[in-house]
Structure 1
Amino acid sequence: MSTPPGGDPVRARLERVSRALGPLGQRVVLIGGSIAPLLHTERLVKRPRPNEDVDGVIDAESYLAQGAWQEALRTAGFTEAIDAGMLAHRWRTPDGDLVDLVPAGSQLGSTGQVWDVLALRHFDVLEIAPGVFLQHVRAPVLLAMKFAAFRDRGREDPLYSADLEDILVLCRPAIVDELRASEPVITEFVASQAALLVTDFDIEDLAAAHLNNAYAPAEAMIIAIGRLRSIGG
């Protein structure tokens, strides 16, 4: 599980997980903070926010299909991570990396989140290493996921919200145009949440705190807030 000297630990872990999944990776769309660095198109921060696991969603339309998926993971050498908390759908790869692979949809055992279903429709394929591929959610859907998470668990203490940090860094140069080209449910939700963020909070202080790891913190803060205001209309 070591990373070569000078290597990127985020990409190294994603490569290990992708290799462990093998052909099963064609059924997984990776989401969450662990893949956010893949979506950064400008070097805004010096290092990505650390994550303890890799998150993904799968398309399992029934409880029976979920059982078949779990058996396929076991055959590939994955084990239930009962030692890493009581989260359902948490696994360890043969290399020991933690992964949360959750069925999308409203059926029993699934997340019930509309964003997880949308992730299965809006993803890109990346060759993370020669001959090793992964599927990751596109930036507009991940931004919607992060806004939903911030609304549910970050608003009470935004200064320490990892979701808010991800939101600020995900406001990449093309995000406004990407959102305009997205499905209305994505565009409208992100716009409404961005507008609330810049009006309901002291966004300057929050951005300054969350972007203190930036190469040029003052400039990064101005850029991120400007893009949030553009998104919020």
Structure 2
Amino acid sequence: MKRLVTWSAALVVGVSLITGVASVTLAQDADSWMRVDYLQVLPRELDEFIELQLEEVNPALQRAGVPWRSAWRTAEFGNTYERLFVTPMESLAELDFGGPLGRVLEPDRLARIADRVRRTLASRQSYAVRYRPDLSVESDDVSGLSLAWITSVQVAPGRNADWEAFLRENTPQFRGADVVFGVYERVFGPGPAVWQIVENHASFAELDRPTILQRTFGEQADQVAARLAGVLLSIERTVLRYDPELSFSAAQ
């Protein structure tokens, strides 16, 4: 099954290039894990950073058998030099052996590459994110959608069950309204517990459309949203643009 991402934040995300158009195509099984890295690149080091990704990091990941890596960057609003990378993980156990890069690179070379990448960055934050197909609404047609609208919600402590119940109970209505989105749970990493809802779009004009709740429930949207009072502590919306240069997929 094909679906949209991410991530996530996001997000989340297998990307193939079909006739030159980016589309998110790789399905994820339940409890599938992804590594999401937010990298703030030093402006003066941007060219070096891109060169390292293209000539060192991506080729090594491909040799390690990583099926895809999805790269995203800020779309107009936000941190201009921030880059987001999403990579699938077979399981968390692979980290016990140094991850995919540790499988194919000698320790000395891995350390040299890591040091070169470090010199190009102002900061780095990494997360283990789990895709939740049971709470998502998927689509088989995802071609040409290069923008990701990510809604990050912070769930109050002890209210995860209420949040999941809200999504699960309303999934039939979401499907009936023909809305499409992916749900991702940020499990490990800095900061509070955050869930991310990811919609993909072809243009900024599409961002003027009503929200998921408004499209699904119409005039009752505010009443439905009131059920989340005390469940959600904050909501943040960001828009990312897919970066085909720094991405790869086994399907290419």
With normalisation by structure 1, the TM-score equals 0.32
Q: What is the TM-score when the length of structure 2 is the normalising length? A: 0.30
Higher relative contact order (CA 8 A, sep 6+): 2
Higher percent of residues as strand: 2
Bigger helix share? 1
